[in-house]
Amino acid sequence: MPTILIGGYYGAGNIGDEAILAAMVDELRSQRADLSLIVTSWEPEKTSKDLQVEAIYWKNINDLLDAALRADLIILGGGGIFHDYWGIDPDTYLRKGFWDITAFGSLPLLAKLLGIPCMIYAVGVGPFHSESAREHTRLAFERCQIATVRDGESLEFLRQTGLNTDNPDGPIVKVLPDPVFSLVTSPADDAQAAEFLHQKQIQDNTALLGVSLRYWDIDIQLDEWLPFVASGVREFLKQNNLAQAILIPFQVLHATPHTNDAIILKKLADLIDISDRVCLITDSLTPRFTQALIKRCTVVIGMRLHSAVMGINVGTPVVALSYAPKVLAVMKRAGLEEFCNTTLTPKAEILANQIQKAWDQSRDFRHKIKPLQEELKAGTKEHARLALDLLSDSHRGSLQFSQQFAIQQVRYLSETDEALLQLQDEKIFLQRDLDQTIRI
């Protein structure tokens, strides 16, 4: 049975990434039923249960090595994983302390080391703030045979790394739609969303304005931009007495503010200050349920990329806040650039007017967007086809001595890192004990 190792930002409750993984698994299985899938995850048990796959903890290096040794193909992606908003440390490849480019770049490196085919699958690339990030992104792509990126802007950022995307001897690079454009809501999902809204005391005929924001403080502080968004939403609600806002988190992970949308949505609700017309959701949601909620909305304000994707999927007009190039890219692709704010500080009147215009066009929008929906959904199938073509060319042989030696050294380094972490924890404990003794 052919085995594929899939790595990405999975198991952390990010609806966009979870939707990508679900779409990828569904499409791979629909095209080839005899696959064994291993997925890296922050919460392996949940990922395994939800998708009926084998899952391993993302930062367990030994398990990652063991999975790679069983794999006939390694897939990295998808999602916006090649950027350096939080820096890059090239010394962290295949180590527990890796993050972002070195974390995700560890999979193509491992594939190259073991002689396993590798595909980068439906990723977003950029923006970059350092030459080191560009260099290591280029190296990751050069270690693959096939790569797909989800928009033309990602392709341009990739070219800026120095990768010749037209080189016949290099990786094949294609631009294909985000896999989440294939996500479909079922009648059961719609019924679940309706029941959820009933529990929130929202009636079937209530006109809803969905809002999806994320914590963001790169180049601009949260307290500088959030009041602008709140003012625009408040202005719209005052002009539309029957409308109600529903605040939809795309990630509720209590690790950092960046991974917990509920924090910023609570601040937004407080700033809007019309408590009886704002419904704040603080639950961790699933992709299909979230898309069913967006389908129930008349308009959705989307900062999270996949809130815009899901709006397009279900024919709900989108007003976007482009905190990163990927958001503007998907709005351009849908012909919705006039509804995309390239600043997080739009004037209240401008944002309210955008929402109103989208609101007034909502009935026509579902009809007009249908051809694009079908085109994008059809395009998502190509990612899996390319992956399976690469899998069919996979012929694993015995490891050479140099490969065995390299794997063993990675294992030794992993054990050393674990021992160092344990010593650091012991040092902290002893220091606290010493401080208490001194105080006594």
> Do 141 and 260 share a domain, yes or no?
no
* Residue 159 belongs to some domain of the structure: yes
Domain of residue 98: give its range. 3-177+378-397
pLDDT, tens only, 200-226: 999 889 999 999 999 999 999 999 999
pLDDT at 396 over 90: no
Task: Please give the pLDDT value at position 109.
Answer: 98
When comparing pLDDT for 439 and 181, which is higher? 181
> Do 274 and 388 share a domain, yes or no?
no
> Do 135 and 215 share a domain, yes or no?
no
Task: Please give the pLDDT value at position 37.
Answer: 98
pLDDT at 436 over 80: no
- Write the CATH number for 250: 3.40.50.2000
Alpha carbon distance 11, 57 (integer Å): 9
pLDDT, tens only, 115-170: 999 999 999 999 999 999 999 999 999 999 999 999 999 999 999 999 999 888 88
* Residue 428 belongs to some domain of the structure: no
> Do 306 and 337 share a domain, yes or no?
yes
* Residue 422 belongs to some domain of the structure: no
Q: What is the mean pLDDT of residues 41-62?
A: 97
- pLDDT category, 440, cuts 50, 70, 90? low
Dihedral, 32, 36, 41, 45 alpha carbons, nearest 10: 120
Task: Please give the pLDDT value at position 438.
Answer: 78
Q: What are phi and psi of 413, to 5 degrees?
A: -65, -40
pLDDT at 21 over 90: yes
Task: Please give the pLDDT value at position 308.
Answer: 98
* Residue 410 belongs to some domain of the structure: no
- pLDDT category, 394, cuts 50, 70, 90? low
> Do 156 and 277 share a domain, yes or no?
no
> Do 158 and 272 share a domain, yes or no?
no
> Do 235 and 148 share a domain, yes or no?
no
Least confident of 59-68, 300-309, 350-359, 388-397: 388-397
What total number of domains does the chain contain? 2
Alpha carbon distance 297, 149 (integer Å): 30
Task: Please give the pLDDT value at position 160.
Answer: 97
* Residue 425 belongs to some domain of the structure: no
pLDDT, tens only, 408-423: 999 999 999 988 888 8
Q: Which long-range contacts (CB under 8 A, 24 or more apart) does 182-186 make?
A: 182/23, 182/26, 182/27, 182/377, 182/380, 182/381, 183/19, 183/22, 183/23, 183/287, 183/288, 183/291, 183/310, 183/313, 184/288, 184/313, 185/288, 185/291, 185/292, 185/295, 185/313, 185/314, 186/288
pLDDT at 395 over 70: no
